[in-house]
Amino acid sequence: MNTVRHRACHASATLTRSLRIPSRWRTISTNHFIHREKDAVVPDSGFTFAVKDNIATAGHPTTCASAFLRDYESPFEATVVRQLRERGGVFVGKTNMDEFGMGSHSLNSAHGPVLNPKFDDVPRSAGGSSGGSAVAVRLGDADVALGTDTGGSIRLPAAYTGVVGYKPSYGMISRRGVVPYANSLDTVGFLARDVKPIYDLVIDGGLIHEHDELDPTSLTSQSRRRCSPGGDRRPPKLEEHFRNPSEITIGIPQDYRIAELHPSILAAWAAAEDALRKWGARVVPVRLPSTQVALPAYYVLAPAEASSNLAKYDGVRYGSRAEGGDTDASGEVLYSRTRGDNFGREVRRRILMGTYSLSSEAMDNYFVQAQRVRRLVQRDFDRVFARPNPLRDEEPFDLSDLEDGWELENKRGPAQVDFLLCPTAPTFPPRVEDVRTQGPVDSYMNDVFTVPASLAGLPAISVPVPAGNGMEEGGGVAGLQVLGQFWDDARVLGIAHQLSRLMPVV
């Protein structure tokens, strides 16, 4: 980004910190930082950024909110942190999170829970697992925050705290220096108070073009040029997108109208549809039938990958040894006490889930079937989007897959769209005491709208929109999610910016 954009970004954030944050939001201890820089100096041409605690920063702790890494300081820095520093970013601290990214509410942390600053009546969820990063942005402690999104871990906290949360296309942002949860799903993303700072970094700032040779999941420079519609051509400014809105078609997934969807979020979704129609865009219903099986498939695949990634944490080869964990107990292996004491309850649960699904007796019925469901999810998205997926061959739509009575756009099938619009979360931020009494399955339901885009590797962004008149459940704000085809990130950010202008949150 050039100096003018840096200065504008910093000035905007300073105004936010000084004028727009109600004092009552600081009446509770949000516990969003694990480590905070005391003397961070921001030049006029710079901006501040916070880093989720599973992203390495040299000379600072990287604990993943786990007792296993309580003493760990990384000898190197994550590529994305270096990239932000090169663009004028000033590091202000490491943010709290769910342990190893496993959770939807940022309550599963060795450093204590993160609380939502929007509510001072009772403690409420800030969303997870990047809850600390979302709160840091919400309170103005950082202009931009880094998070990771495996199944919604950036978008859900953004919706709960009323900020913007963006998950890029898989393979765009380097993951070198990120402690892995599920390698085929983990994506580094950004949170900010509005879309522009993110666009300035990713599109104008050129992160979309930077390949990292040290990250095997980073798309090569050749692939990036092939995926980008304009190649290396200068991208348009944020405000230059969609000069003719009548050329834009936005799909409303009918399969996302679930019984658990809160009426006020449904009303906000409908209001957004009306606003986009009045703007001039075409809005049509679409079907994504694999949605109903995406969530269970995710909770087979992600724990399976996690059980493999976390196998090295034993206190012998890696991680801190538990007290008394240096001798064998009767019938136990050397590191059983260390893993039992240092892993939190949710992490232990997911390791057991993943280990079982990878066992010889269960693999065919669970892991292999979940991989097939993932392909169906990807296929559904590719059929719905008008822009072809640059990584896969285009498949003709099989009309026999349609349900009776479903309207065809033409002889080739239903309408194809540029973007999808849906809620980010089915409910408003729940009370912490309610979350603690929920069963795991009830908690996992919060990811029902965010998981499909993660399984398909697509760009998705959560934007805050008005929801009622200061209603208690959501503080008058709901999160709506915009999804686009793979590597269509610039236009996804552009339509999200337009939505936030059409439905501003006061």
User: DSSP alpha helices (H): ranges in 322-362?
Assistant: 336-342, 345-357
Task: Please say whether the beta carbons of 298 and 151 come within 8 A.
Answer: yes
Biggest CA–CA distance in the chain, Å, is: 72
Residue 290's alpha-carbon distances to 53, 293, 365, 373, 378, in angstroms, are 33, 6, 18, 7, 9
Task: Please say whether the beta carbons of 310 and 460 come within 8 A.
Answer: no
Identify the active-site residue in 74, 104, 133, 153: 153
Residue 4's alpha-carbon distances to 7, 44, 80, 323, 324, in angstroms, are 5, 9, 22, 54, 57
What are the tokens at 41? 């100096």
The backbone torsions φ and ψ at residue 483, rounded to the nearest 5 degrees and listed phi first, read -120, 150
The Cα 121–Cα 119 span in angstroms is 6
Is 74 catalytic? The answer is: no
CA angle at 473 for the pair 100 and 505, rounded to the nearest 5°: 90
Q: Fill in the DSSP letter of residue 1.
A: -
The Cα 173–Cα 299 span in angstroms is 24
Is 264 catalytic? The answer is: no
Tell me the HSE value of 244 on the side-chain side, using a 13 A CA sphere. Answer: 2
CA angle at 159 for the pair 193 and 127, rounded to the nearest 5°: 110
Is 125 catalytic? The answer is: no
The C-alpha R_g of the chain, in whole angstroms, comes to: 22
Task: Please say whether the beta carbons of 479 and 381 come within 8 A.
Answer: no
Read off the amino acid at residue 232: D
End-to-end CA distance of the chain: 28
Identify the active-site residue in 66, 106, 125, 129: 129
Helices 489-502 and 263-279: angle between axes, nearest 10 degrees: 100
Give the active site residues.
52, 129, 153
